[in-house]
Amino acid sequence: MPNQSPLHFSLRQLSSALQTKKISSVELTQLYLERIAAYNPTLNAYITTNAEMSLAQARHADARLAKNNSHALPVISNLTGIPIAQKDIFCAKEWRTTCGSKMLENFIAPYDAHVIQQFNEAGAVNLGKTNMDEFAMGSSNETSYFGAVKNPWNHNVVPGGSSGGSAVAVAARLCAAATGTDTGGSIRQPAALCGISGIKPTYGVVSRYGMIAFASSLDQAGPMARSAEDLALMLNTMAGFDERDSTSLQRPPENYLRDIDSPAAGKPLSGLRIGLPQEFFAEGLSDDVAQAVAAAVVEYQKLGATVVNISLPNSKLSIPVYYVIAPAEASSNLSRFDGVRYGYRAKEYSDLTDMYQKSRAQGFGAEVKRRIMIGTYVLSHGYYDAYYVQAQKIRRLIAQDFDNAFKQCDVIMGPSAPGTAFNIGEKSDDPVAMYLQDIYTIAVNLAGLPGMSIPAGFGKNKLPIGLQIIGNYFSEAQMLNVAHRYQQATDWHTRMPPNILNDRGALT
């Protein structure tokens, strides 16, 4: 049987291999740690690894797997023993948690984020903390204080961002699956650019507690993995009400695999209405991506879906609206990084004000400072009404557009990003060109809707293209099924970047 290596296993296959003792969690963790040691110096997907801590968790998981059904240890879950990469935005107890910033270069988190806690309780292994744009502000991973991340499909191009490290870790098989966060497209765009799957759930489905805030009303965590099925398994662990987050939604637990696991007779997606927003196929979209998305839609029609043309008339305003609201919230959220209690403090300063100014000037990178300044400006006396209040009004209009659209269709499809991955350095001097990377994803955050990206082909440059699927509120199980059926019929999601399997890591 080809592809015997656990590197190619789905999470369910991995879980089964672990439960039937075909492999131990320690062996699996070792395998990934060795791969990280081999590839990370080039790819820079991880900011921090800690073999000792990861292996301790793996040993504990093996004990749990060995004594399954005994009362001494918690029951095993689908993720027990599986090594997961965590975006370095989640506080994990005793782990360095940097958020990609010099400001937190030496910050050891004293507590676990809710997401981390959920994975720990499930018995997953924390494989390390992945690289990201500084404070999740960026679409290329170039703003990280810890250096750019390379796209495994081509080391000269970016992996996207801000969850670039997680996307690369998944694509290059440096973890079984990973977590990301998405404020304006930070899960979907890097997933698209790296040829993997990622979902941003409905705002409030995953607790934000312990996730370092960028823009509180937009931030949402979600999984990044190799398939929709893996995403569903991950989301089962990540989602859930948390009383420590006031925006967390109190809903009964869901099984996100339920639609995937229900048998389909005949055409699996018959009756599904796919909305295609005209605004997503206008100027600015590359031909490669347009063609790949069109081909995917044809594939969906073969699976039984029908197509409706829809319009999201206010979506063109989503970038300006986002770049008022997100920086406004960020300017305030990042005020706690003042050099007083933790984090970077300037070595020399003359007084309190000087300490604040120097610590923040030296501790934050250019993009973070740019957004703090924009945010401070739009909240200032005399500008607040013209910017912030207006932006909130338009935000409601954008959400209204989606409400109207979902009267005509079940899911919306379009591109995840306007093009394939661009060269490292290509857009770093042009913030607006960089911001346009998220033109198709941002409206989803503004409306609080779930959105995902799945691989749907390659450009002429042999770089991956992502298909975006947007669902109505709480329709994650349906969306994951829509993605899953496509992945059953196609093999884009199984394609691997070249040269990521060396003789050591390739096969066990």
Partner 1 sequence: MTWEIVIGLEIHTQLSTQSKIFSGASTAFGAEPNTQACAVDIALPGVLPVLNKGAVERAIKFGLAVGAQIASRSVFARKNYFYPDLPKGYQISQFDQPVVGQGALTIQVEPLSGNEKPYEKVVRITRAHLEEDAGKSLHEVFRDFSGKGLTGVDLNRAGTPLLEIVSEPDMRSAAEAVAYAKATHSLVRWIDICDGNMQEGSFRCDANVSVRRMGEEKLGTRREIKNLNSFKFLQQAIEYEAQWQIDTLESGGKIQQATVLFDADKIETRAMRSKEDAHDYRYFPDPDLLPLEILPQWIEEIRRGMHESRESMRKRFIEEYHFEPYMANSLVADRDRAVYFDSFWKHYIPMVVGKEDSAVSGANWAMIEIGAMLNLSGLSITQTPITPEAFAVLVARIVDGTISHKIAKEVFGYMWAGEGSADAIIEAKGLKQVSDVGALEKIIDEVIAANPAQLAEYRAGKEKVFGFFVGLSMKASKGKANPTQLNDILKRKLAP
Task: Give catalytic residues, as residue numbers.
Answer: 87, 162, 186
Q: Which of 241, 281, 342, 458 binds partner 1 (CB under 8 A)?
A: 342
- Asked if 11 touches partner 1 (CB under 8 A), the answer is no
Report the alpha-carbon distance of residue 352 to residue 141 in Å, rounded.
33
- Asked if 37 touches partner 1 (CB under 8 A), the answer is no
Helix runs in 406-436, H state only:
431-435
Q: Which of 352, 366, 386, 506 binds partner 1 (CB under 8 A)?
A: 352
Report the alpha-carbon distance of residue 425 to residue 297 in Å, rounded.
33
Q: Which of 58, 213, 312, 456 binds partner 1 (CB under 8 A)?
A: 213
Phi first, then psi: give them for residue 470, nearest 5 degrees.
-115, 130
- Asked if 119 touches partner 1 (CB under 8 A), the answer is no
Instruction: Tell me the closest approach of the beta carbon of residue 99 to partner 1, in angstroms.
Output: 7
* Structure tokens belonging to residue 167: 């996307």
Strand blocks (E) in 125-255: 125-130, 177-182, 197-200, 220-225
CB 464 within 8 A of CB 193: yes
- Asked if 384 touches partner 1 (CB under 8 A), the answer is yes
Options 101-109, 156-164, 173-181, 498-506: segment touching partner 1 (CB under 8 A): 101-109
User: How many positions of this chain bind partner 1 (CB under 8 A)?
Assistant: 44
- Asked if 379 touches partner 1 (CB under 8 A), the answer is yes
Residue number with CB closer to partner 1 (135 or 256)? 135
- Asked if 94 touches partner 1 (CB under 8 A), the answer is no
Share of the chain residues as helix, strand and coil, in percent rounded to the nearest 5: 40, 15, 45
Options 208-216, 293-301, 308-316, 457-465: segment touching partner 1 (CB under 8 A): 208-216
Residue number with CB closer to partner 1 (243 or 261)? 243
Instruction: Tell me the closest approach of the beta carbon of residue 113 to partner 1, in angstroms.
Output: 6
Which pairs count as long-range contacts for 382-391, CB under 8 Å and 24+ apart, including other chains? 387/324, 387/328, 388/324, 388/325, 388/328, 390/324, 391/320, 391/321, 391/324, 391/325, 391/328
Residue number with CB closer to partner 1 (286 or 332)? 332
**Residues from 358 through 377 that contact partner 1 (CB under 8 A):** 376
Report the alpha-carbon distance of residue 176 to residue 170 in Å, rounded.
7
Instruction: Tell me the closest approach of the beta carbon of residue 80 to partner 1, in angstroms.
Output: 25
Report the alpha-carbon distance of residue 349 to residue 369 in Å, rounded.
20
Cis status, amide bond into 197, omega within 30 of 0: no
- Asked if 208 touches partner 1 (CB under 8 A), the answer is yes
Q: Which residue has the tokens 């399997």?
A: 501
Instruction: Tell me the closest approach of the beta carbon of residue 348 to partner 1, in angstroms.
Output: 14
Nearest-5° Cα angle at 375, 369 to 378: 140
Q: Which of 246, 252, 265, 432 binds partner 1 (CB under 8 A)?
A: 246
Residue number with CB closer to partner 1 (231 or 330)? 330
Tell me which residues touch partner 1 (CB under 8 A): 90-91, 97, 99, 104, 107, 109-111, 113, 208-213, 215-217, 243-247, 328-329, 331-332, 334-338, 340-342, 352, 356, 376, 379-381, 384, 388
